[in-house]
Amino acid sequence: MALQYSRVSLTRIRPYYGLVVAYCKQPQRSKTVTTQQTILTNKHRNFVTDIHSPIELKTGDVQELANQILQKAVDKDVMNKCLPLSKVCEDVNELLKACLSFEEVAVVSDKVESLKNLTHLKELINEFKTFGFERIDILNILMTCPSLMNLTVDKVVSCLSMLQQAGFTTSALIEIVSRKPNIIETDVQKIKLRISELKQLFKSSDTFTLLSSNPELLFCDMSYIHDRFNYVFHEMGITQRQMLYSTIFSLPMDHIHARHMFVVRAGFFKKVKNKEAQIDYNPTLDKILDPSDEEFARTFGGMTVTDYQAFKQLLLREHIILQELDNEIEQSS
């Protein structure tokens, strides 16, 4: 099958366009190349690339790519002139042997702060692989957060080891780092503290499930988490398990409150006080919080978006009136 590069990926390496295309469109070469176009469907995997099986490399090709990489680096920082072309060739060759394509080496090289960092990049890639990361995961992590290429290998290994020892499974570890690569740059002690705080609200296994889909919870204020947790748990009477499968921790409080009040006043939700004595007929939390306004209004009462927007305005006015009454009571007392 002929090699094909997407327009999106080629525009990202425009300085190397001629070299990459010329190299990849030479059918007369006596080596077998298999190409698989990989489109990543997960929202945190947005780097589209062509995957090549290992191929026999020609010295001239490597040298030409290394030369263009070096020239581009010199344009950014004249100090790169002191770096010998032979050293860049050596580093490029090592990355190609690590199963990166010519295109990927060009893109990654353009992202590193200094070409000197290419030396340990292969080692960094190999360390990611020992933790179960696939090559395409690693590339997307490095492209999303290029500053990781400036970290020492020991720093990266230390953070990944800590997350693994804390309880993240291999799949959960890959998920959270892919979604939030800068977690590797975060203070390990802060991560440990946040995991400990979340375990006070959720079961240990549920904590890691929650963080895999909501890695931003490692970085936000704990009050942000408490506000949403306490409202849903105490005011709505909904368990932690349902919180795992909704978008509660990515939503503003006024959205959560408005949705709750609407289903209550429309007769679709009633707080279950004694779960052992009562059957819970309430819709699940994700059905209440996650749909669009249009779908939500249609599901609960067959109403329109306009109806729901009017309800929210009335709710806001009601809140303002109650707040004014509270202020008057405080002033008179």
Q: What is the pLDDT along the chain (333 residues), one digit of tens a residue?
A: 443 433 333 333 344 444 433 334 444 433 333 333 333 334 334 443 433 333 344 445 888 888 888 888 788 777 777 778 888 888 888 888 777 788 888 888 877 776 777 777 888 888 999 999 998 899 889 888 888 888 888 999 999 999 988 888 899 899 999 999 989 988 888 999 999 999 999 999 899 999 988 999 999 999 999 999 999 999 999 999 999 999 999 999 999 999 999 999 999 999 887 666 677 889 999 999 999 999 999 999 999 999 999 999 999 898 887 777 777 777 776
Of 115, 141, 175, the position where a domain reaches its end is 115
- The verdict on residue 184 lying in a domain is no
- The verdict on residue 195 lying in a domain is no
The alpha carbon torsion through 272, 255, 292, 297 (nearest 10 deg) reads 60
CA 189 to chain centre: 21
Amino acid at 242: Q
- The verdict on residue 121 lying in a domain is no
User: Which domain range does residue 294 map to?
Assistant: 242-328
- The verdict on residue 101 lying in a domain is yes
- The verdict on residue 202 lying in a domain is no
pLDDT at 102: 83
Gyration radius from the chain CA atoms: 27
Of 68, 86, 115, the position where a domain reaches its end is 115
- The verdict on residue 6 lying in a domain is yes
Q: Are 52 and 33 in contact (CB under 8 A)?
A: yes
Eight-class DSSP state of 113: S
Site of tokens 């992590």: 141
- The verdict on residue 120 lying in a domain is no
pLDDT at 38: 35
Q: Are 86 and 116 in contact (CB under 8 A)?
A: no
The domain total for the chain is 2
Amino acid at 149: M
Q: Does residue 279 come out as left (phi exceeding 0), alpha (psi in the -120 to 50 range) or beta?
A: beta
CA distance 308 to 260: 12
Of 96, 115, 134, the position where a domain reaches its end is 115
Q: Is 230 helix (H, G, I), strand (E, B) or coil?
A: helix
- The verdict on residue 177 lying in a domain is no
pLDDT at 277: 62
The set of residues, in sequence order, having a beta carbon less than 8 Å from that of 144 and lying 6+ positions away, is 44, 47, 181
